[in-house]
Chains A and B, each alone.
Chain A
Amino acid sequence: MNANSFVSIYDVSKEKIIELLESAKRFEENPNQDLLHGKIVATLFFEPSTRTRLSFETAVNRLGGRVIGFSDASTTSSSKGETLKDTITMVSGYADLIIMRHYLDGAARYASEISSIPIINAGDGSNQHPSQTMLDLYSIFKTQGTLENLNICMVGDLKYGRTVHSLLMALSKFNPTFRFVAPEELKMPLEYKIFCDNNNINYSEHTDLMEVIDEADILYMTRVQRERFIDLMEYEKVKNCYILKNKMLDHTKENLKVLHPLPRVNEIESDVDSNPKAYYFQQARNGVFARQAIICDVLGIK
């Protein structure tokens, strides 16, 4: 077991979050640093993810490290029935760090218990995606100058969207006000509302985005995913309910930024892209710096 792994955002303290954000900021100012010289990083993607993998590999390359790994488990021995334990044990003999994405919930935690080298969770099923949360936090921190006392409006699929759940838990340390905007079928699960109640966090639920958009500092849009619906009739009913149009931003706050974990389908119309309040592409770019910070942290560099 390696104690330095980065597996779940729930393990990360407020102090550590701030430390990582400061570190990400330094990487943004100076992205090419030879801190991983001579190090080998294994990117094990048992489930494909273009953006996350490229972002991590960019981070490693900018730090002067080398990458081994795979981007599709069908070409590896796990498709022959090798256990995750065996794969991780083997790779931890080759590399200095493992960055893994897996289709099963909890895979990264389990890997961190087996591995002798640190594990960074790049997504475990529908459970956690903590580096996404760090880049979301960095994007908020960078555009608002703080994480404290912000009005965060979360829109779309709040039931299954793991990014909103992780972001909610992380931001809860910074006295936020949450506005949850979702169709009835995709409302924020009860456990997160109980969590807010227990921690005196101000929140309210809405079905109409226009009710709360003008007071928001951050508008966090998510995709209503077709594959989440058992009943496709339900999907057809709600899929167009939460589409952001440029005009809807007319009376919003000056400092508002629109975030989206991407990929977007149609939930943000393309005319929003040129609005200075649109921030989702810069947000994706911030992922490289946030991940540089995480990588150096787990390896104990600087």
Chain B
Amino acid sequence: MNKKELLVAGLQNGTVIDHIPSDQLFKVVSMLKLDTLSNPITIGNNLMSKKSGTKGIIKVTDKYFEKNEIDRVALIAPHAKLNRIANYEVVEKKELELPDELIDIVKCANPKCISNKEPMASRFDVIDKKNIVVKCHYCEKALHKDDIVLL
């Protein structure tokens, strides 16, 4: 039994997010507002990864995240693996993937965009999932991965 399976097996109910790039681990922690939860949480970082150097892992007991929360994580850790555990069994296992549309997740970088001036949700179309390029549905300006700021 390898280490990953051990970690997953240790959870009765909850969520495991694995294969988070080490440099994004604490961003994911803050994005998911784990500091506000009282559930048992295990966070590991700089663990050996067969795929790419080191990785981070987050294990949260009795917590399943909403799609909107997971979509945010997909933006900064697009290849992380999400496992939903129920009664010690993995009931869902998937690689995070950007959705076609991001609603109220990304802040438009254009200061003259209506979405920054009106009390409204931002809306972006994902135009390149591989390189992470999104385009504002309103002002039609494209944002590349490194320029993306989350709301």
A→B interface (CB under 8 Å): 8, 10, 83-85, 102-107, 109-110, 124-128, 191
Evaluate contact between B140 and A110: CB separation under 8 angstroms. no
Residue with the greatest number of chain B CB neighbours at <10 A, chosen from A10, A105, A109: A105
Evaluate contact between B114 and A10: CB separation under 8 angstroms. no
Evaluate contact between A106 and B119: CB separation under 8 angstroms. no
Known: A126-B112, A127-B139. 14 other contacts (CB 8 A): A8-B140, A83-B119, A84-B114, A85-B118, A102-B114, A105-B110, A105-B113, A105-B138, A106-B115, A107-B114, A110-B138, A125-B112, A125-B139, A128-B140
B13 to chain A, nearest CB (A): 40
With a cutoff of 8 Å between Cβ atoms, the chain B residues found around residue A106 in the complex are 113-115, 136-140
With a cutoff of 8 Å between Cβ atoms, the chain A residues found around residue B139 in the complex are 105-106, 124-125, 127
Known: A83-B119, A85-B120, A110-B120. A104 touches B114 (CB 8 A): yes
How big is the B interface, by class?
10 to 19
B56 to chain A, nearest CB (A): 34
Proximity bits, B123-151, A CB within 8 Å = 1, else 0: 00000000000001111111000000000
User: In the docked arrangement, what's the CA distance between A127 and B112, Å?
Assistant: 10
User: In the docked arrangement, what's the CA distance between A125 and B114, Å?
Assistant: 9
Q: Does B117 contact A (CB under 8 A)?
A: yes
Closest B residue to A114 using CB positions: B120
A239 to chain B, nearest CB (A): 24
User: In the docked arrangement, what's the CA distance between A126 and B113, Å?
Assistant: 10
Closest B residue to A104 using CB positions: B114
Evaluate contact between B118 and A84: CB separation under 8 angstroms. yes
User: In the docked arrangement, what's the CA distance between A124 and B118, Å?
Assistant: 14
A196 to chain B, nearest CB (A): 16
With a cutoff of 8 Å between Cβ atoms, the chain B residues found around residue A104 in the complex are 112-114, 117
User: In the docked arrangement, what's the CA distance between A10 and B139, Å?
Assistant: 12
User: In the docked arrangement, what's the CA distance between A107 and B136, Å?
Assistant: 12
User: In the docked arrangement, what's the CA distance between A105 and B114, Å?
Assistant: 6
A1 to chain B, nearest CB (A): 13
Known: A110-B138, A125-B139. A105 touches B118 (CB 8 A): no
Evaluate contact between A109 and B137: CB separation under 8 angstroms. yes
B10 to chain A, nearest CB (A): 47
B99 to chain A, nearest CB (A): 19
Evaluate contact between B114 and A110: CB separation under 8 angstroms. yes
B147 to chain A, nearest CB (A): 14
A202 to chain B, nearest CB (A): 24
With a cutoff of 8 Å between Cβ atoms, the chain B residues found around residue A10 in the complex are 140
Evaluate contact between A110 and B110: CB separation under 8 angstroms. no
B138 to chain A, nearest CB (A): 3
Evaluate contact between B120 and A105: CB separation under 8 angstroms. no
User: In the docked arrangement, what's the CA distance between A106 and B122, Å?
Assistant: 11
Evaluate contact between A105 and B142: CB separation under 8 angstroms. no
Pull 19 A–B residue pairs with CB atoms less than 8 Å apart, ordered by A.
A8-B140, A10-B140, A84-B118, A104-B112, A105-B110, A105-B112, A105-B113, A105-B139, A105-B140, A106-B113, A106-B139, A107-B138, A109-B114, A110-B115, A124-B114, A124-B139, A125-B139, A127-B140, A191-B142
User: In the docked arrangement, what's the CA distance between A150 and B136, Å?
Assistant: 32
User: In the docked arrangement, what's the CA distance between A159 and B30, Å?
Assistant: 39
User: In the docked arrangement, what's the CA distance between A84 and B142, Å?
Assistant: 24
Proximity bits, B85-129, A CB within 8 Å = 1, else 0: 000000000000000000000000010111101111000000000
Closest A residue to B116 using CB positions: A104
User: In the docked arrangement, what's the CA distance between A105 and B117, Å?
Assistant: 10
With a cutoff of 8 Å between Cβ atoms, the chain A residues found around residue B138 in the complex are 105-107, 109-110
